[in-house]
Structure 1
Amino acid sequence: MSELAIIGANSKVVMHFAIKLDDGSAADSTRVHGKPARLTIGDGNLTPNFENCLLGLKAGDQREFTLEPADAFGEPNPQNIYRVEHSRFSADAPAEVGNIIAFTQPDGRELPGIIRDISGSMVTVDFNHPLAGQRVTFAVEILSVE
């Protein structure tokens, strides 16, 4: 019987994961669509802290890791909150509290922002990660490691 590969630097990993909040609600899950995540350790798709939790695991392993905000999606940064003129929004992307709207950056990339407040002609848009400031639990099931 051959030994299973263990997750290390540059490993290609296929896994199911769920992100749970302290109140028990699920913020994200690959099982919802039945499509596992594929990633390479060290490619920047996961935070280093989350990658460190995966190191040493192998196919078949199931674990849960609870990460504090600074180790997961960071603390909210007040510099990522902007006030924008209401006139910059359209019927296709209306400024309504709670909406997530993609804003095109000067380099052509899109950055999602959450509408937090509308006051008169100004709209407050938060570009922090939606889970910034929250402690999260990652539940993972490793399907394969190369």
Structure 2
Amino acid sequence: MQQVKSGDKVKVHYHGRLTSGETFDKSEGREPLEFEVGSGMVIKGFDDGVTGMTVGEKKTIEIPFLEAYGPKNPEMVIDMPKDRFPADMQVEVGMPLGMSDGQGNQYQVVVTEIKDDVIILDANHPLAGKDLIFDLELVDIEGQKPLIIMP
């Protein structure tokens, strides 16, 4: 049986959980996730987890945060003065907000705390600093594109 290797295009059904058991994402009810192994389309631990699998195989992998979304970066926590928000805006802890930097790049932040004069925003990935568990089922391997050698 063909085993997944770097460069293969694969289709995988998955159920992603935190170590607490809380589900953060799953493909159930959707098309399987399709990606090229080793291309950087998914986190390193996920790539490593599907490598060597065969079609129809199911397994559970544990991905430490360093092979997932990395550690939480304290520099990504921002104190934003309240007067920078519209006066009529109802800001709440846990609220996601879109922001842009000086170069026009868009990114999402989450309100983590509201103080008298500032609102604390966290721009870290929501799964940063968290170990992840995935239940995987390999649905298909398309295989590598054939290498054409020109004379």
User: What is residue 79 of structure 2 aligned with on the other side?
Assistant: 83
Which aligned pairs between 1:1-146 and structure 2 lie closer than 5 A? 3=1, 5-31=2-28, 33-90=29-86, 94-146=90-142
Q: Which stretch shows the higher mean deviation, 91-100 or 57-66?
A: 91-100
The 2-side partners of 1:7 and 1:93 are apart by 50
Q: CA deviation at 1:104?
A: 2.7
Aligned amino acid, residue 16 of structure 1: H
Of all paired residues, the percent bearing the same amino acid is 25
Equivalent pairs counted in the alignment come to 142
Unaligned runs of 5+ in 2: 143-151
Alignment partners' CA distance in 2, 1:46 and 1:95: 32
- Secondary structure of the 2:38 match is coil
The 3 A distance-change label for structure 1 pair 109 and 39 is farther
Structure 1 residues 75-84 or 108-117, which shifts more?
A: 108-117
Query: Structure 1-normalised TM-score?
Result: 0.84
User: CA separation in 2, counterparts of 1:56 and 1:107?
Assistant: 42
Question: CA 1:93–1:37 in structure 2 vs 1: closer, same or farther (change >3 Å)?
Answer: farther
Instruction: Look up the SS of the partner of 1:75 in the other structure.
Output: coil
Q: Distance in 2 between matches of 1:23 and 1:115?
A: 23
- Structure 1 Cα separation of the partners of residues 104 and 13 of structure 2: 31
Over the aligned positions, Cα root-mean-square deviation in angstroms equals 2.2
Q: Deviations over 1:43-66 (max 9, x none)?
A: 222222321111111221111111
Q: 1:90: Cα distance to partner?
A: 4.5
The C-alpha deviation readout for 1:13-54, integer Å capped at 9, x for no partner, is 1111111112211111111x4232111112222222321111
CA contact (8 A) 1:64 1:138 kept: yes
Distance in 1 between residues matched to 2:108 and 2:38, nearest whole Å: 24
